Amino acid sequence: MKLSLHNTLGRRLQSFEPLHPGVVGMYCCGPTVYHYAHIGNLRTYVNEDFLRRSLEYAGYRVNHVVNITDVGHLTSDSDEGDDKMEKGAAREGRTVWEIAAHYTNAFLLDWQRLNLLQPSHWPKATDYIAQQIQLVQELESRGFVYRTSDGLYFDTEKFPAYGDFAGLRLDKLMAGVRVELGDKKNPSDFALWKFSPVDKRRAMEWDSPWGVGFPGWHAECSAMSTALIGRTLDIHCGGTDHIRVHHTNEIAQSECAHDGEPFARFWIHNEFLKTEDSDKMSKSSGEFLTLQVLIDRGFHALDYRYFCATAHYRKFLTFSWPNLEAARDAHRAFRRRLKPLLDAWNGSRQGETDSVHEFSEGQKGWQAQFEEALGQDVNIPKALGIAQSLARDGNLTEAQRGRLLLDWDAVLGLDLAQDLPDPPPAIVDADQSAHIDALVAARTQARESKDWPEADRIRKLLADLQVVVTDTPTGPVWAFKG
């Protein structure tokens, strides 16, 4: 299966091959865990999951990294404003560490509910401070860094290709963006390390060769991707809003620290989920929808996944309740149509060997269409349409259709093999630990009544929440991993 991807680098469709045969290094910018992810954020991860699944369908092994930004950064691209984590802590009367743990868990739960494949690594920025310091040292020794009263900055004038990625000249890049220049030399220069204020201790701060402080927010992605994938990534993903500043800065610091070695070969950018009156759903605008709100209103998380599958990742998708309802109805009807097909396939398999399941000519034709859709820049809406048409094709037996659809679900990720599964229980907010206590108690009960499937299901839920349970003579105790 041949795969072409639209590469932001060069702005064109390009045939994809990884640097090392068979293995794809894929880095995706993850959430800042100061609040719940909204469904617009989640759309990006669903689309990235379609990409990952398509790569695996094409036979690649994917080394997939999604970072968790748990360091308190400043709210604007220009390194000014409030610290998001501290803002979250003040809002809820908790410590920044509690805020990070709570919203990381909530994010991982959304991840699981949407049936997104677990990445190979979930690095937390706070676990990679040393690597971020090392990156700044590498840049400093090569002359790309200058110091001001409040931190260390990257001198964008020293990197002539700085504006290339966004397709803008340096002076145009920041036009229209309000920037407090402070001691900075150029508006586009960005913080690599910020000093803690002299008169107060920050909730999150670390020692460094330059003094106590915290890393600038772009540093982590460069440092963690190098540590977990290597200097050159095959694919780097994110939202279109990251092109101008965050990804431009990642490229600048990585390529300058690594003597010009290319940072990422393919850049894949996801378009926003919009609402009928705004081009972007955003947290700063106050009102935003979480997956939990959708579930509370009677939708299944996979209804939302199906909704995401109806638009190509490079196109806007317009959220409205009627649009979501239409997607839910189509999703449920699709599952109903599939049920007898999957049953027929499962029935026909009983007691047979694999050799009788070679594709017929009819099946091969459908398979080619499906792969072609994926190969053209991961065209999931088209692939979904092909699956819908196949389900109705009377020229193939039910079992033949069922077999293909089950196979294709490896990409669609709708968990078609089973009835729409019950959603995992919600985090009943406020008290995370009560929720985990309840899960642990349910696990104990399931084990006592020898209900192994249920015990196993709960074990997986706990694992996804990063909870480890240890059985002791006085009963089970649990703790967060790490």
Per CB under 5 A, which region of 25-33, 390-398, 434-442, 473-481 contacts Zn ion? 25-33
What is the size of the binding site for Zn ion (CB under 5 A)?
Answer: 2
Query: Strand pairing of 233-239 and 23-28?
Result: parallel
271 with 265: CB under 8 angstroms? no
Per CB under 5 A, which region of 27-35, 262-270, 389-397, 465-473 contacts Zn ion? 27-35
The H-or-E segment that residue 336 falls in is helix 321-349
The H-or-E segment that residue 147 falls in is strand 145-147
Per CB under 5 A, which region of 29-37, 159-167, 174-182, 338-346 contacts Zn ion? 29-37
Nearest CB to Zn ion, comparing residues 264 and 462: 264
Per CB under 5 A, which region of 112-120, 213-221, 283-291, 450-458 contacts Zn ion? 213-221
Q: How far is the CB of 245 from Zn ion (least distance, A)?
A: 11
Q: How far is the CB of 475 from Zn ion (least distance, A)?
A: 42
DSSP 8-state assignment for residue 424: P
Each residue 266-305 as x (binds Zn ion by CB under 5 A) or -, in order, gives ----------------------------------------
Nearest CB to Zn ion, comparing residues 67 and 156: 67
Residue 63 bridge partners (DSSP): 25
- Window 440-459: residues binding Zn ion (CB under 5 A): none
Nearest CB to Zn ion, comparing residues 224 and 411: 224
Q: How far is the CB of 224 from Zn ion (least distance, A)?
A: 9
Q: How far is the CB of 445 from Zn ion (least distance, A)?
A: 42
Q: CB within 8 A of 382, min separation 6: which ones? A: 373, 376
Nearest CB to Zn ion, comparing residues 73 and 401: 73
In the numeric block, which tokens belong to residue 389?
């048409």
Q: How far is the CB of 307 from Zn ion (least distance, A)?
A: 26
Nearest CB to Zn ion, comparing residues 257 and 390: 257
DSSP assignment of 201-242: --SS-B--TT-SEEE-TTHHHHHHHHHHT-SSEEEEEEEGGG
| Residue given tokens 């015990």 in the structure block | 455
Q: How far is the CB of 232 from Zn ion (least distance, A)?
A: 16
Each residue 71-110 as x (binds Zn ion by CB under 5 A) or -, in order, gives ----------------------------------------
DSSP assignment of 426-482: PP-TT-HHHHHHHHHHHHHHHHHTT-HHHHHHHHHHHHHTTEEEEEETTEEEEEE--
- Helix spans in 142-218 (H): 170-173
Residue 80: closest CA among 234, 183, 202: 183
Nearest CB to Zn ion, comparing residues 268 and 399: 268
Nearest CB to Zn ion, comparing residues 221 and 384: 221
- Window 109-138: residues binding Zn ion (CB under 5 A): none
| Residue given tokens 């020898």 in the structure block | 450
Measured CA distances, 305 to 42, 48, 102, 287 (Å): 9, 12, 24, 21
Nearest CB to Zn ion, comparing residues 42 and 221: 221
Nearest CB to Zn ion, comparing residues 29 and 229: 29
Per CB under 5 A, which region of 43-51, 205-213, 221-229, 339-347 contacts Zn ion? 221-229
398-412 helix and 321-349 helix, angle to the nearest 10 degrees: 130
282 burial via Cβ count (<10 Å: 0-12, 13-18, 19+):
middle
In the numeric block, which tokens belong to residue 11?
């702005």
The amino acid at 145: V
- One residue of 29, 109, 256, 341 binding Zn ion per CB under 5 A: 29
Q: How far is the CB of 33 from Zn ion (least distance, A)?
A: 14
Does 414 help bind Zn ion (rule: CB under 5 A)? no
Nearest CB to Zn ion, comparing residues 116 and 386: 116
- One residue of 51, 65, 135, 221 binding Zn ion per CB under 5 A: 221
Q: Which residues bind Zn ion (CB under 5 A)?
A: 29, 221
